[in-house]
Amino acid sequence: MKYNKSLQSEIDLLDEEVQEMVEMLSSDDEGDRLVAAVNLQQECDEDTIPFLIHALEDPSSSVQLIAVTTLWEMANAKAVLPLLECINSKRDKKVSDEACSALKELINQDHLLKLLDYLESDDELQIIYVLILLRKIHDVQALPSISPYLSSENKNIRKEAVITLRYLNQLTHFTPANTLADDPDQEVRKETMLTLGNFREGCIVPILCNSLANDESWEVRRNAAIALEMHGDNSSSKSLSSAISDSHWQVRKFSMRALTKVLSEEYLGEIVKLLCDDYSDVRKEAAIALGLLGSKKAIPSLKQSLDDADIEVRIQSQKALEKLNV
């Protein structure tokens, strides 16, 4: 790959040793170009940036990969736009992944409009990468551009779009995201739960409660419990008190944790039962909740937990008893 005239004239300004490497980088032999790229990586000379950018178009993906890594190490803003050209399905997957990782560190607010231009593409991989990069900028101006991808036919795009929503500053509600709680794909539903946890809108708590009670995937139910903990809404207490008897221990653990924010003495019986759960994490959360509840009726059960096999449960039971002045 020969250099154009402007790059040729820049070669003369370089050190003799670097000049040799840069000329080798345009050799016809792939091995020579690889050696030159590795040597330039070790030199890490800012003057070689235009040549490394030129190497991003090299026919060999190995040379491209080294050029991307070197530009990342140099962390120069000049490399941002050329690296954006590398995040698409025409490139080797390794090169695109490396370029995306580099861009995560190099992009800033100034590149928002450029990123939004790249988002309007037919290349699904490019859309996914740009959605990931928009999380770094977290500017709510990107919302109109992200919104159409919430209804994409590609489940990976829907997933990345809904994740990106929770990174946008000042975004407190966005109704199209609510419908993804019933998405056919489990991964999308899982991420939607966490995104809804960050929103503040009246209709969200019932959606989360419904997923907590009825979703077939325990991971979705667990994330619904985590989201309800973020909300701390009293109307979720009924659903959470049922979910602490869920078949999966992680759902029981996070529901118990969420329930501590909306505690009421009517759930005392169910919480005490969790002190005998098979999983120590659940027992620990139950001990914490009983301490916060402050009911004297829990004292005998907490005293029994002082002999628990797990030290963390014993510590939390002791702390709970101290709160109850025992």
Partner 1 sequence: MALTNNRVDVPVIVDESKCLDKCKACIEVCPLDVLVKNPDTGKAYMKYDECWFCLPCEKECPTGAITVQIPFLLR
Contact footprint for partner 1 (CB under 8 A): 31-32, 34-35, 37-38, 42, 62, 66
Other CB atoms within a 10 A radius of the CB of residue 9 amount to 10
Structure tokens at 164: 């990106």
Shortest distance (Å) from residue 195 CB to partner 1: 37
Shortest distance (Å) from residue 35 CB to partner 1: 4
**Which one, 34 or 127, has the nearer CB to partner 1?**
34
CB 63 within 8 A of CB 34: yes
Other CB atoms within a 10 A radius of the CB of residue 34 amount to 19
Dist CA 266 CA 104 (whole Å): 49
Question: What DSSP element (H or E) covers 227?
Answer: helix 218-231
Q: Please list, in sequence order, all residues whose beta carbon lies within 8 angstroms of the beta carbon of residue 126, skipping any fewer than 6 positions away.
A: 87, 88, 89, 118
**Which one, 33 or 252, has the nearer CB to partner 1?**
33
Structure tokens at 246: 């869920």
Shortest distance (Å) from residue 60 CB to partner 1: 10
**Which one, 29 or 278, has the nearer CB to partner 1?**
29
**Which one, 31 or 176, has the nearer CB to partner 1?**
31
**Which one, 34 or 228, has the nearer CB to partner 1?**
34
Shortest distance (Å) from residue 62 CB to partner 1: 6
Q: Tell me the CA end-to-end span of the chain in Å, nearest whole number.
A: 80
**Which one, 42 or 170, has the nearer CB to partner 1?**
42
Helices 204-214, 186-198: crossing angle, 10 deg rounding: 140
Shortest distance (Å) from residue 76 CB to partner 1: 21
Shortest distance (Å) from residue 93 CB to partner 1: 16
Give the closest residue to 76 by CA, choosing from 55, 34, 45: 45
